[in-house]
Structure 1
């Protein structure tokens, strides 16, 4: 298992277009459809990051990298069932986790939201109480803590929005666990604080989740990708 964190920055146009020429055509078309420049960069760098990781870990040339999606839309690497990955991004950060078993990762920038109404509607009673019993601004932080844990679980399951947020409960104690009723799998969770103003969580079917984070420099990634791919 490895967890990667990358902080995005602007990309000059010629490098942006050159990177796009070295990814899947359908992905490239999606990237160019984004109106917001930051959305374009996040989508492109996320694709470059996972392709670069695959090249290093599996020694696959760029042209041999082919992604498929399950019926819920979760991508996986064709022909490599033991290479599992998941990507998330929010504001300035892109995060990626790889594992030999299903894995989910989620990162969220902490922004002012009507969290109490959301928690009442989509969280369990114990999750709501975990948030509501905190003082002041800590409530907003706890809301995002629960949110990222729940999202990481959904992404690990690989069933997307078919799993309602209120259909399972995250128990936040010393050892975080999930109660989902019918799911008999045992999931492991870990929370990460990569920077003030962000919450990040990882969920895995492995018994342990690494505490180490691999920091990736965007410019170095781009130069390496363009030279190898």
Structure 2
């Protein structure tokens, strides 16, 4: 199997299943650090803890394959706002997001962000009125009404992926930038403090009942999806 590395001008997206059989889970769990095992035990729901550990083990497995080391040898560091980075000489950047039984892992040779959301019942219209920029609300509440919930999650995942790409997290207001949807894709219309055209935005349809997105710092990038099991 070839290394899971993005090529020039592209970012790599992997949709990962978090519900795996014991025979698959056990080697993933063995690669975790003591701190990661402690985090798994901190979950009140053991099933949620197992899924988190599966995602973490798969992250280690993919990163190890990318840079040519063993999963337990992967060292992950965190920036001031919690953005993770791997210690390697590949110039590799990554971001991981998980929701429900799926995770999205995005790899790039530039800063990247990932977000995945299961379509859970929520008062999404109220959330949008509170957190979306005016232009996003205009797109969201435009007819047809039947497509509004899907547009909500598409905008939301793009916005979250942008925050993870910049590494600003809660330090940036969700109203300080705008995602623009168009047929088959999305872009960053404007963003305070940065040049919006420098970012590439990729909505992703991972599975029915889920929305996801990847954002990368770079123009004219291409998204390539890859299977990992």
Asked if Structure 1 and Structure 2 have the same fold, meaning a TM-score greater than 0.5 normalized by the shorter chain, the answer is: yes
TM-score, normalised relative to structure 2? 0.85
Partner of 1:20: 29
Partner of 2:226: 214
Is the 2:178–2:191 contact (alpha carbons within 8 Å) kept by the matching residues of 1? yes
Structure 2 gaps of 5+ residues are 1-10
Is the 1:189–1:209 contact (alpha carbons within 8 Å) kept by the matching residues of 2? no
Structure that is richer in strand per residue: 2
Structure 1 gaps of 5+ residues are 218-229
Q: How many residues align?
A: 216
How far 1:15 moved relative to its partner? 6.8
Is the 2:96–2:104 contact (alpha carbons within 8 Å) kept by the matching residues of 1? yes
Partner of 1:142: 151
- RMSD between aligned residues: 2.1
Name the CA shift for 1:63/1:6 in 2 (closer, same or farther; >3 Å): closer
Provide Cα deviations, 1:155-204, integer angstroms capped at 9, x if missing partner.
10012111121111112235512411211361001111122211111100
Name the CA shift for 1:120/1:81 in 2 (closer, same or farther; >3 Å): farther
Query: Which of 3, 9, 30 does residue 19 from structure 2 map onto?
Result: 9
How far 1:143 moved relative to its partner? 0.7
TM-score, normalised relative to structure 1? 0.85
Equivalence map 1:83-162=2 (5 Å): 83-162=92-171
Partner of 2:68: 59
Give every structure 1 segment of 4 or more consecutive aligned residues whose post-TM-superposition deviation is greater than 4 Å. Answer: 14-18
1:104 and 1:172 map into 2 onto residues whose CA distance is 18
